[in-house]
Amino acid sequence: METWELWFPAAAANGLLFARSRIEPCDSVWVHSPPELLSVVVRDGEEGIISHAGELRREGPRFPMARLQRAEMSIQREDRWPVADDIGALVILPGGEVGELKRWWNAGDGSEWRWQLEFYNHV
């Protein structure tokens, strides 16, 4: 398992934890409603850091989703709408719950969108 920690570094004295999620290893995740500035740390379980990014700033217009792509030790942020190829990807929600993207649709002008996530838990 990997632990993805997403921080809003511009909040409070030392930043504010936006989400913390434990998921199977993957190279990319989506984040719903990320802050304008995001720091990311990916850990091997809860131990050593395997990837990180300091301050990933939103570029361009505001989208309700951002895709985080891991490349070796670094992470890139891409703010955009999901497309058909993104169905099945993991989405981290504020707080850390993770779901699988099952459906996505958005209006061409960005004024509305509809989506479905599936959640699975095993105790």
Query: Residue 94: is its pLDDT beyond 80?
Result: yes
- On the question of pLDDT at 35 being above 90, the answer is yes
**Pairing state between β 2-8 and 37-44:** antiparallel
Global confidence as pTM: 0.93
Q: Span 11-27, mean pLDDT?
A: 91
Q: What is the mean pLDDT of the chain?
A: 93
Domains: count for the chain = 1
Beta bridge partners of 52: 41
Buried/exposed 21-52: b ≥16 CB within 10 Å, e otherwise:
beeeeeeebbbbebbebbbbbbbeeeeeebbe
For residue 82, the tally of other CB atoms under 10 A from its CB is 21
Assign 38 a pLDDT band (cuts: 50, 70, 90).
very high
Question: Residues 68, 62, 28, CA angle at the centre, nearest 5°?
Answer: 10
In a domain, 29, yes or no: yes
Q: Is residue 88 part of a domain?
A: yes
Question: Does position 60 have pLDDT exceeding 90, yes or no?
Answer: no
Strands laid side by side in the 65-71 sheet: 74-79, 65-71, 28-32, 90-92, 98-106, 113-118
The pLDDT of residue 92 is above 90: yes
CA 59 to chain centre: 15
Q: Is 31 part of a structural domain of the chain?
A: yes
* For residues 38-65, average pLDDT: 91
Residue-range definition of the domain harbouring residue 24: 2-118
Residue 123 resides in a domain: no
Residue 19's closest CA among 73, 88, 91, 87? 91
